[in-house]
Amino acid sequence: MFGKYARWLSSRGTAFSRASHYELLMFIELGSVVGNKRIPDLNSKISYRYLRLIERCYLYLKVSPNPAQHAIFGALKQQRYFKDKSMVTLTSEQLDRFVAALPSSTEPSEWRRRRDRAMQLVMLFGGLRVSEVIGMLMTEIGRQAEMDGSLQLHLTTEFKSQSSYEHSTFLRTPAVEDVLAWIAERAALPITGDLAFPSYNGSPLDQATVYRHVKATLRAAKIELPRSGGRTLRNTFAVQELKQGTQKPELTKQLGLALERSTDTYEMAGRRE
């Protein structure tokens, strides 16, 4: 698919790094003629997956702003493309297995394992996107637990992707102890910057790295899913919140939703469990 897109851009005289989100949408919606062969129109499910694939290519090349992200959210706003109807979430039993399989170590030199554990817990019990967790600042994590044991997280747009919005959510009780322990350790590490889950030199982790960590935990927990990644953890958080009685308008705020799917989809996913 990437080859088709590259050839299509070449036929228009546009370099990959300089393509606009309008050209991306044109490619997805209309198709084009490459040589004597027409690229067929794509159905909505495949369209969304193709846009996500191209988005990762631009992320890898560090092209900013990312035209694929603009195309995705522009399309979602106009309700032209939608994600798969069968949203992937962890069942309650799989959630327990996932937590049990998270990386863990008490060795001082293996701080990365404790970072990765806390980072995945924040996605699973706080509902953060991958782009949000890799850009999360120490100051965005509360230090004092609420009456119910949860911890407030206040997400700003600093170091986040263009798809993120400033909002507040709660890190639920099962993750609070581990996350606070990591934040205390992080503050004592000789790592520059204010990122809560940094690389060894203080820079943000790559999104692909976070996806690999999530997939590794799923493999360790022997959980097989049709699709897996950071969004699986976010979806699971949303479904669990609805089950615990969080109202849909409040969940919308917690997730920082703007152009994404409505919370009705999470509700349907919860009924399937």
Q: Give the integer Cα–Cα distance in Å for 131 and 269.
A: 23
The pLDDT value recorded for residue 22 is: 78
What pLDDT does residue 133 have? 95
Average the pLDDT over each of 48-52, 61-65, 192-196, 216-220 and give the range with the smallest value: 48-52
In this predicted structure, what is the pLDDT of residue 51? Answer: 80
> For all residues of the chain together, what is the average pLDDT?
83
What is the pLDDT, as a whole number, of residue 187? 96
pLDDT, tens digit, for every residue of 65-118? 888 877 776 665 555 544 444 578 999 999 999 999 999 999 999 999 999 999
Residue 119 has pLDDT above 80, yes or no: yes
Interval 120-136: pLDDT, tens: 999 999 999 998 999 99
- Which residues belong to CATH 1.10.443.10 in the chain? 92-272
d(CA 91, CA 247): 20
DSSP letters for 125-175: HH---HHHHHT-BGGGB-SS--TTS-EEEEE-STTS-TT---EEEEE-HHH
pLDDT digits (tens, 9 = 90+) for 142-159: 988 899 999 999 999 888
Task: Give the contacts of 130 (CB within 8 A, at least 6 positions apart).
Answer: 123, 207, 210, 211, 229, 230, 231
For residues 135 and 204, the answer to whether their CB atoms sit within 8 Å is yes
- Domain 92-272, classified CATH 1.10.443.10, yes or no: yes
**Bigger pLDDT: 81 or 213?**
213
Type and span of the H or E element at 62? none
- The yes-or-no verdict on residue 37 having pLDDT over 60 is no
